[in-house]
Every structure is written in C-alpha cells, then in structure tokens.
A and B are shown apart, each in its own frame.
Chain A
Amino acid sequence: MKSIKITLFAFFVAFGISTKAQNDFTLYQMRAIPQVTTVNPSAFPLSKVNIGLPVISGTYLSFGNSGFAYSDAVRLTDDDSLEIDLDNAIDRMSDRNIISSYTRTDLFSLGFKAANNYFSIGITEVFDTRFFYPRGLFEFLWFGNGGSNLGQRISFNGLGLDFIHYRKIGLGWARRIGPNLTVGARFNYLYGGEAIYFSKSQLGIATDPIDYSLTVDAGMEVNTSGIRRISDISSGGSVSTDDILDYLLRGNNKGYSIDAGFNYELFDLFNISGSVIDLGSINWRDDLETYTLEGGEFTFDGVDLFSLVDPIVGETSASGLQNLVDSATNFFTDFDTLPNKSFSTPLSPQIYAGVTYNLTNRVRLGVLSRSQFIKGDLSTSLSASLSATVGNFFSTSLNYSVYGRSLGNLGVGLSFNLAPIQIYVITDNAFVAFQPYNVKNTHLRFGLNLTFGRDYEL
C-alpha cells in the first residue's frame, strides 16, 4: 500500500512539476557567469578569459509539467484532510500540455575578449525530451465519453513523445559597435545522436449522442533515428570500436543553428537587449525507421446480432464478432514501417527581450520576456529581476517570473569566485525546495568555471 501511495505521489509530482524547460531568466541577468552568452550571444561576460572545464563547467537540468501543479490535483480541505481533485487539475490544463525534461552538459567552453570583441567556443551535450499530452486524454479517462462529451470529438491530437539527443559545437563572436551597441552571434554545428519525433499525431474519439456509436480518427507518423541501434545493443548486440567511432564522429545526423543578440545602453541607465536562440534544425539520416498510421476513421456502432445469431434457425456464430475485433485491431496496429525516410527536427527557438535599469554600477533592476516556439505553439513568460555584484567574487540575481501558466516562480542565482575558480548555482524556481506541491517547474544550473580578468562593475 505504501508503494502505491508513493507511486501516487510520484505521479502527481511528475505531472505537477512543470516548465516548458530551458528557462534562463536568472542566467540572462548574470553576466559574471560566462555561460550568459548561451542566452544572449551579444553579452560580454565580466571576465576577460573564461574556460569551462570538461563536464563540470556547466550542467543544466530542468523538469516540469505545464498542465498542473501537485496542489491542483491534491488539495487540503477545511477538515485537515487531503482530497484528490482531478476536476480542478483538468481545469488547469490547456488543450495541449507538456511534460519536459531538458539536460545539457558543457563538455568544454572557452571564451576571451580581444579589444571590442568577445570570442567563444563551446561543446555541449543536449538531451531534450517532451511528452505531449492533450487535456482531452485526462477528460476522457476521468469523465468518460458520455455526459457532456456526447456529440463532441474528444481530441488526443498531439499526443506523443519527442526526444532528441545531440551535440552542439558553437562558435560565438560578440562585438561592440560604437559606445552603446553590442551585437553578437553564434553559429552552432549540431551532431545528432538519437531522435524520436512525432511529426504527425492525430487521434480523437467522438460519441454519437443518440446511438452512442464511437468514431475514432487517427493518423500518426513517428520518425526515429538511432533507436534501433540502442535496441540492438540493449538486447545483447556486439559493439565494435568502429561502431563507437561511427557513432561519435562519423554520423550523418547533422544540423545547424544560429543564436544572435544585441545589447544597447541608453543614457548609461538603461540597457535594452534581445536575442534569438536555437534557430535551426537537425537532419536525421542514420539508422532511420519511420512508423506511419494512415489517417482514417474507424466507427464501432454496435454488434450485428444477426451476424452472431441466425434469426431463423437460432444458431450462433462467433465469426461476426471476430471480424469486428479483427477490423478494430487492424485499424490501430496497421503501422507501415519505412526504413530509410530521413527527417528533420526543428529546435525550439527562443526569443528574449529585456530592459534593465542600473540602480548603481553594481545593482540593477530588470524585466525580461521570453518566448518559445514548440511545435507551432508559442509560450511567453515574463520576469522581473534584481541583480547585483559584490567585489569581483560574488554576483547574484533574484527574479520573480510567470511562465508555464505558473504565477509564483522565484529565481535565484549565485556565483562565487575563489581566485579564478568560479562556482555558480542558478535556479529559476527556488520554491521547488519549499513548496514542491505548488510549483509546476523545476530548474537548476550549476558548474565550475575558470575566469580570469574579472571586472564586476558595470
């Protein structure tokens, strides 16, 4: 029983902690941390030379659910009891919701200033996973297809799982143009590892309000790359050195992306900035397998009794029912497998736009908006921040942000320097530590850099 409760807890936490991932409100305001160039390539870090040590220089973790928080589904009642309230949780969902997990590890980074320029290079391993679930799925499971759902198409459109694993090798260049303007860009070469991509996901069920006949419409296309290879290995297949080299260096899953940004100083009090990140895609050509389910409809409108029972002689036969079962089974399992269909997965572009106001040369207030496109959906979030530095060894940023239809997100970023060694910890939602039941997002970035020539005064 305890394990079931733990499972229940895990379920609601898993579904209840959310973000659409890759928020970097806090980092964006912390120029003391060299990784700031990953969210705005025009940003000049507050140190002249920055080295990111392999693996430990930067780790980014985020996990979340855009649908609802734990406390939306499990509520405290006036009599000090707990109550599962899935009605409320479903109310909180949007039509399409995402459970996302984003992991990013800096394998190596190097950046340095040269006159009015800042050059950087970085290699990063990225795992990006998104499970899309429609609100209709929960409505169907909780409310059923009867009642108010009669005559409506309950949509499961978009149900699916996107997963990509790739390596990003970026080359960035930021340059001051005149006294107030800084622009920057980074060109990224993307080297794909594995991918699962639901390029088409149409699924719905409609119930006739009179005779309750069920009509299911479906159309699917799932592209994969490298999954078969993993499957072979996990089932005991042998792996040669050549295979490893092929995987690490000689693959054909290639892509490119561009990041670009600007900073503009106004009256020495304001800073206006903006950036576009992850504008690109990966073309997948290795170890391909595509599964398609032709679009169509299947209607079940009841069993023909006379196919089961002869009305004249009264004999029964199961063949009519078997035919029906076969038809339904074929409809849902008749996937075509295409072995060599290449495909492309777009990254999820993000646009940052912000303004800061310098209270002092070490403290500034800021507002920042962030928009992200995920499979055609645009989500926008906002934050207000207060950032500060102390000496050349400490910087911090606090922000309050609204994103993922979650109102209360407190971001905290801290960086310390012991000589050139910089340790930093950043989160966009510190409340996860205090109120895991209320948050929909969790996010953590930490690492260790070597920074030289620091000057934390703005």
Chain B
Amino acid sequence: MKFTKTLGELSVVFFFLALFYNCERRYFEFDKLKDVTYSPQLALPLVNSRLGMDDILARNQLDLIQTDAEGLITLVYEDNLIEVNPFQLLPPLEQKMEYSLGTGIPGTLTFNVPGSLNYADQVDIDYPAPQDQKLREIKLKSGKLLIELNPSFPGITPDIDLDFTLPGIILADGSTYSVSKSIPSNSPNTFTVDLTGATVDFTKGALADDRFALDYDATINYNAGDQLGKNDKLDYGFTLQDVEIKHVIGDFGSQQIPIAKDSLKISIFGQVSSKGKVRLTNPKLFFEINNGIGLPFRVLFNELYSYNEVVDQTYPILFQTFPNPFPINSPVKIDDTVATSLEVNKDNTSIIEILSPTPKYLIYDVVGEVNPGGGPNYNFISDESIFKIKARAELPLEGFVDTLKIQDTVEFSLGQTVEELESATVNIITTNGLPLDAKLQIYLYDSKANNNAGQVLDSLITLDNNQIFVSGVPGANGKIDQTTLEDQTIQVVLNQQTAQSMVTSDKMIISAQLETYNAPNQSIKLFNDYGLGIKIGVNLKGAITVGSSDI
C-alpha cells in the first residue's frame, strides 16, 4: 500500500515534468527561419616586401646604377656612341684634271712629203682644290685613274705615237706610271690605270701643292698632203675614280663639322610634376672623345639645355669656366688615336640649375671645328682616323628633395558591389631606411561625374595619418644606421560609404609628396645598403546575410 502511494506520487511528479518539458515543434519549422547575418572578421597579410638598394643593384641589368667605394649610388645615363666620318673634311677628289697640248704654229702647214713632228716637254697638271685647302698626298687602298686622250688633228692621216709619264703617280710596286701607245689622230682614246696601293703625290717633288707633273713625248706622223693647223691639239684628262683612301696629307683648311645633336632621357624624373624642388648637388656630364684625325680640333657646344616636358620649359646651361669651344687632342702620327674627356660639372657650368626643375631630357648640339686658327696647317686623315664621341650623364644621388609632388592617375574598376563588406582596415607598415619623408594620398575619382567634367569622390587616407614614410636620421658620418630603424604604421579604414565610392569610381589618383631629411637645409646621400620595407595587411569585416530560402 505504501509502495503504491509512493508510485502514485512519482507518477504525478513525472507527469508534470513531462508537461513542463513538452515537445516544442516550432523548433523544427524551418520555414520560419530568419535570415542569418554572418559577420566574420578576416585578417590577412597581403604584402611583405623589402626593397633594398642592394636588390636594385643586383637586378641592375641596364647598367643604370653604379656605386663608388663608399657605396654612394650614382645614376648613369649613357647615349649611344656617335662616330664621325673624317673624310667629310676632304675636298672632292674625283675631279677632272686637264692639260691641252697645242701645235704652236700660227697658220696651216701643208706637208708635201711624209715625215713627223715631235713634241716633248714636262708640264704641270693642277688639282682644283677649294680655297684654303691643299692636297699633298693621297695614299690609295684602291681606285683607278681615268685617262682621256682627245686628239684633234683633222688634217693628219697616220696615228700619233705618244709616250708619257706621270711622276706623281707611284704605283704599288714603287714605279712611276708611264705609257707608250699609238692613237688615232682624230678620235678620243680612253683607258684606266689601276691605282691599287698607289700613291698620288701632289707636291711635284716638294715644289708645289695640288699639282703633279706630266712628262710627255708625242710624235705626229704625217703623209704628203696632210695638214697641221694652228688649232690642232691633244687634250689630256686625268680623273681619279672609285677611290678608297688609305690616307690623305694636306691642308684641309678651317672647317666645322656636325658631331652630335641628340638628347639624354633622364628617367628618374619621369612622373615628377613641376611642384617642388629637386637639387642634385654633384651632377656631371661627360663627353668621351677618341680622335684619330691628325688635325687641330676643338668641340663646340652650340646648344646644351634641359627640357621639362610637363611644363614645356627649357633651361639652357651657362658655361661659366668651362671653355666652349673645348680643344681636344689630336694624334701626331698616322694611325694613332688619342682620347679627350670633357667634363661638364657644377664647378664649370650651371648644370645644377638646369637639372633642378626635374627635366626629363638633356639636349645637346655639338659640332667640331678643325684647324680653328687658320692655315697653313698640313695634317693627315687616314682610314684609321676614327672620331668617336660618347655622352654620359652621371647623377650621384646626393642632394635634397623639397616638397616634391608625384602624381599618377590609374584606371580602376572594382567591377561589382561590395555590400557584403561592412568595413575594411588596411594597415601599412613601413620600415624606412632612406632619408626620405613621404606622404601618400589616394583619391577615388569618377571621370563621368558632372557631365564628364569629373569629380573626386573620396580619399582613402586621412590627412593626419598620411605620412607613409618617416625619414631615417643620418648620423655624424652622414649615413643612416640600418639596424636601428623603427616601424611606421598608417591605417586606412574603408567604411561602407568609401566602399560605395570605390564601386562608383573609375580612376584612382595616387598622389605622393616627397621630402628628404631636413630639406632644403641639408643634403643627403643614398648609399647601397639603404633599404625600404613595406608590409600591408587587411582586416575585412563581412556582413553576409544568408536568407532562409538560401538554406
């Protein structure tokens, strides 16, 4: 009985417990499931890079950068080698030199019986040199002499027997040129002489210039009844053809020849706007000249200036103590070459000032002047007389940058909505081993806004947090200790509004302002152990709504 009562009591308790814990079916009515908002925060590192000057040097495939013993970095811009053809200084050699042999009789002479008349003499053949120029010797590698004999003896029937010698034509075997032949008395006769290895001496045995001798012996044969008139003659013509010169000796006069009119592209200033000031304190411009022309020579800068294409301005150099024109060395022996270096630097010109406006081009026009002092100057030009000139700009990275602005506009398209992104925090951590302060701003730009006038929609970085690089402090030795650098962090927070602007914008304007340490009061140098580290991480906060119908 007692047990039954107890069991009954237990049953009541169990019943109420069961009621209390009755099954709630609503827990499984999934059609009443609300949307789920998923808001994870994902933090990811994106970039971790260190750009050391040593890295740049190691990758320097363009020979753009050099360092000295202390590690100071120098940017080097070289122009192509320019070669000048020295034979352009010569007068035209392939000119016709003439002599006319007359009969010397006053009227007409009629012969009754056969016989002959002999004419023999040495005469001068002149080379028609331009004024102030004189030829003394041409040594030929190859060529030929065209000899034109034009007899005009209409009353003479037999051939003419002709012997002549040209003592100034010394053939390759050392002999002088001579010829004997019979030619018709009244028709032209032309032939050539091979002058390979020959020398043409225009001095007529050191007695003259521009002249060589003709020794001739002409026998005019006649028959009975033949006539010889006062106008009868034998014309000689001598023309050098197809010459390849070994050397030429003479006085080439005072001449000016163009050497180089070109420009050096200084790419370091590629994106720099006109605002701000860059001052390289030790730029140099070198011209290396190799001269094999045995003439007094000097180089003249007709023009030397820089050009900033952003503002379309030129900046001409002032030659201060730099001698313009600048004499260069000449060889004293045929086949020698001597070198001359021209250095345009801060001490002899205003080169610092013409580079300060951050020009993109350095433009020069150089000409050469030979025999500048007038004559007579007997010199030589040989086929070994090279004349080469090479321009090189050396820009040691020492100086300062003061409030220099660099700006670039890049196409940008996010391409989709970012509704599922509630916010994003981008941390940019830099470790700056350079003596350089830099501020950065990125603008979101809609070029189609305001009827295509364009509009800046937003900026990504707050003004009080835009210093992306803080300069290292140079020590007493002028160098920054790369082992004691501190990190600098700037934070970019992108909220929904900014994200919407990113969707709307089609361009990004990236603007940076650079300034070296303590500019403009102090110059800094960039050494090869300097480097720059940058890390970028992003923390994304999502706001992803998953509808119950999606589940």
Residues of A at the B interface (CB closer than 8 Å) are 1, 4-5, 8-9, 70-71, 74, 76-77, 80-84, 141-147, 149-150, 207-208, 210-214, 300-306, 310-313, 359-360, 362-363, 386, 388, 390, 398, 408, 410, 431, 434-438
Encoded as 1 (CB less than 8 Å from any A CB) or 0, chain B from 1 to 45 comes to 011001100100010011001111011111011101010111111
Cα(A74)–Cα(B29), bound, Å:
11
Question: Which chain A residues lie closer than 8 Å to B49 at the CB level?
Answer: 302-306
* B46 contacts the other chain (CB 8 A): yes
One of B17, B38, B44, B50 near A212 (C-beta < 8 A): B44
Contact B489 A213 (CB under 8 A): no
Question: Which chain A residues lie closer than 8 Å to B47 at the CB level?
Answer: 302-305
Contact B62 A313 (CB under 8 A): yes
A-B contact pairs, 12 of them (CB 8 A): A76-B26, A81-B32, A82-B30, A146-B43, A207-B43, A211-B427, A211-B429, A212-B45, A212-B538, A305-B47, A312-B60, A388-B3
* B536 contacts the other chain (CB 8 A): yes
Q: How many interface residues does chain B have, given as a range?
A: 35 or more
Of A76, A141, A146, A311, most buried by chain B (CB within 10 Å of CB) is A146
Cα(A148)–Cα(B362), bound, Å:
57
> A80-B32, A81-B33 are contacts. A146–B540 as well, Cβ < 8 Å?
yes
Give the Cβ gap from B67 to chain A, nearest Cβ, in Å: 15
> A4-B551, A302-B537, A437-B27 are contacts. A213–B48 as well, Cβ < 8 Å?
yes
Cα(A227)–Cα(B103), bound, Å:
130
Contact B549 A1 (CB under 8 A): yes
* B314 contacts the other chain (CB 8 A): no
- Which of chain B's residues 63-93 have a Cβ closer than 8 Å to chain A? 64
Give the Cβ gap from A200 to chain B, nearest Cβ, in Å: 28
> A5-B30, A77-B34, A398-B10 are contacts. A312–B59 as well, Cβ < 8 Å?
yes
Which single residue of chain B is at the shortest CB-CB distance from A82?
A: B33
Contact A306 B27 (CB under 8 A): no
Which single residue of chain A is at the shortest CB-CB distance from B30?
A: A5
Question: Which chain A residues lie closer than 8 Å to B7 at the CB level?
Answer: 388, 390
Contact A146 B10 (CB under 8 A): no
Cα(A434)–Cα(B15), bound, Å:
12
Cα(A273)–Cα(B40), bound, Å:
51
**Known A5-B551, A211-B537, A398-B10; 7 more pairs at CB < 8 Å:** A4-B551, A70-B27, A82-B33, A82-B34, A84-B34, A302-B535, A313-B62
Give the Cβ gap from A308 to chain B, nearest Cβ, in Å: 9
Question: Which chain B residues lie closer than 8 Å to A431 at the CB level?
Answer: 21
Contact A410 B17 (CB under 8 A): yes
Cα(A145)–Cα(B542), bound, Å:
12
* B416 contacts the other chain (CB 8 A): no
Question: Which chain B residues lie closer than 8 Å to A300 at the CB level?
Answer: 45
Of B41, B59, B429, B538, most buried by chain A (CB within 10 Å of CB) is B41
Contact B41 A434 (CB under 8 A): no
Cα(A362)–Cα(B4), bound, Å:
11
> A81-B34, A143-B41 are contacts. A213–B537 as well, Cβ < 8 Å?
yes
Cα(A442)–Cα(B294), bound, Å:
111
Contact A211 B27 (CB under 8 A): no
* B521 contacts the other chain (CB 8 A): no
Question: Which chain B residues lie closer than 8 Å to A76 at the CB level?
Answer: 24, 26-27
Counting from the closest, the 5 A-B pairs by CB-CB distance are A146-B41, A212-B537, A302-B48, A144-B40, A146-B43
Cα(A389)–Cα(B487), bound, Å:
78
Cα(A311)–Cα(B36), bound, Å:
46
* B144 contacts the other chain (CB 8 A): no
> A146-B539, A313-B59 are contacts. A214–B26 as well, Cβ < 8 Å?
no
Contact A301 B535 (CB under 8 A): yes
Of B3, B6, B14, B27, most buried by chain A (CB within 10 Å of CB) is B27
Cα(A150)–Cα(B18), bound, Å:
47
Question: Which chain A residues lie closer than 8 Å to B549 at the CB level?
Answer: 1
One of B30, B41, B42, B535 near A211 (C-beta < 8 A): B535
Cα(A311)–Cα(B551), bound, Å:
48
* B61 contacts the other chain (CB 8 A): yes
Give the Cβ gap from B534 to chain A, nearest Cβ, in Å: 8
Contact B36 A84 (CB under 8 A): yes
* B56 contacts the other chain (CB 8 A): yes
Question: Which chain A residues lie closer than 8 Å to B50 at the CB level?
Answer: 304, 306
Question: Which chain A residues lie closer than 8 Å to B45 at the CB level?
Answer: 208, 211-214, 300-302
* B310 contacts the other chain (CB 8 A): no
Question: Which chain B residues lie closer than 8 Å to A146 at the CB level?
Answer: 40-43, 539-541
Give the Cβ gap from A303 to chain B, nearest Cβ, in Å: 6
Contact B23 A435 (CB under 8 A): yes
Cα(A145)–Cα(B42), bound, Å:
5
Contact B41 A302 (CB under 8 A): no
Give the Cβ gap from A216 to chain B, nearest Cβ, in Å: 13
* B318 contacts the other chain (CB 8 A): no
Cα(A422)–Cα(B391), bound, Å:
111
Contact B427 A360 (CB under 8 A): no
Question: Which chain A residues lie closer than 8 Å to B38 at the CB level?
Answer: 142
Which single residue of chain B is at the shortest CB-CB distance from A77?
A: B34
Contact B2 A360 (CB under 8 A): yes
Cα(A435)–Cα(B26), bound, Å:
11
Cα(A76)–Cα(B489), bound, Å:
46
Which single residue of chain A is at the shortest CB-CB distance from B64?
A: A312
Contact A434 B21 (CB under 8 A): yes
* B55 contacts the other chain (CB 8 A): yes
Of B22, B48, B55, most buried by chain A (CB within 10 Å of CB) is B48
One of B27, B48, B535, B536 near A82 (C-beta < 8 A): B27
Contact B26 A434 (CB under 8 A): no
Cα(A303)–Cα(B536), bound, Å:
9
Which single residue of chain A is at the shortest CB-CB distance from B36?
A: A84
Contact B33 A313 (CB under 8 A): no
Give the Cβ gap from B3 to chain A, nearest Cβ, in Å: 6
Encoded as 1 (CB less than 8 Å from any A CB) or 0, chain B from 518 to 551 comes to 0000000000000000011111111000000101
Contact A144 B30 (CB under 8 A): no
Cα(A205)–Cα(B301), bound, Å:
68
* B208 contacts the other chain (CB 8 A): no
Which single residue of chain A is at the shortest CB-CB distance from B29?
A: A82
Contact B48 A304 (CB under 8 A): yes
Question: Which chain A residues lie closer than 8 Å to B46 at the CB level?
Answer: 302-303
Contact A150 B61 (CB under 8 A): no
Of B14, B24, B45, most buried by chain A (CB within 10 Å of CB) is B45
Question: Which chain A residues lie closer than 8 Å to B2 at the CB level?
Answer: 360
Which single residue of chain A is at the shortest CB-CB distance from B491?
A: A210
Contact A359 B6 (CB under 8 A): yes
Contact B62 A312 (CB under 8 A): yes
Give the Cβ gap from B299 to chain A, nearest Cβ, in Å: 34
Contact A210 B427 (CB under 8 A): yes
Contact B551 A1 (CB under 8 A): yes
Question: Which chain B residues lie closer than 8 Å to A211 at the CB level?
Answer: 45, 48, 427, 429, 535-537
* B332 contacts the other chain (CB 8 A): no
Give the Cβ gap from B445 to chain A, nearest Cβ, in Å: 24
Which single residue of chain B is at the shortest CB-CB distance from A359?
A: B6
Question: Which chain B residues lie closer than 8 Å to A4 at the CB level?
Answer: 551
Contact B3 A360 (CB under 8 A): yes
Encoded as 1 (CB less than 8 Å from any A CB) or 0, chain B from 426 to 443 comes to 010100000000000000
* B51 contacts the other chain (CB 8 A): yes
Question: Which chain B residues lie closer than 8 Å to A360 at the CB level?
Answer: 2-3, 6
Contact A212 B30 (CB under 8 A): no
> A144-B42, A210-B429, A300-B45 are contacts. A80–B26 as well, Cβ < 8 Å?
yes
> A211-B537, A434-B21 are contacts. A390–B61 as well, Cβ < 8 Å?
no
> A5-B30, A211-B429 are contacts. A408–B44 as well, Cβ < 8 Å?
no
Contact B48 A301 (CB under 8 A): yes
Cα(A437)–Cα(B28), bound, Å:
9
Contact B10 A386 (CB under 8 A): yes
Give the Cβ gap from A73 to chain B, nearest Cβ, in Å: 11
Contact A142 B23 (CB under 8 A): no
Give the Cβ gap from B58 to chain A, nearest Cβ, in Å: 10
Cα(A8)–Cα(B18), bound, Å:
27
> A9-B30, A211-B429, A431-B21 are contacts. A143–B48 as well, Cβ < 8 Å?
no
> A306-B49, A360-B2 are contacts. A150–B27 as well, Cβ < 8 Å?
no
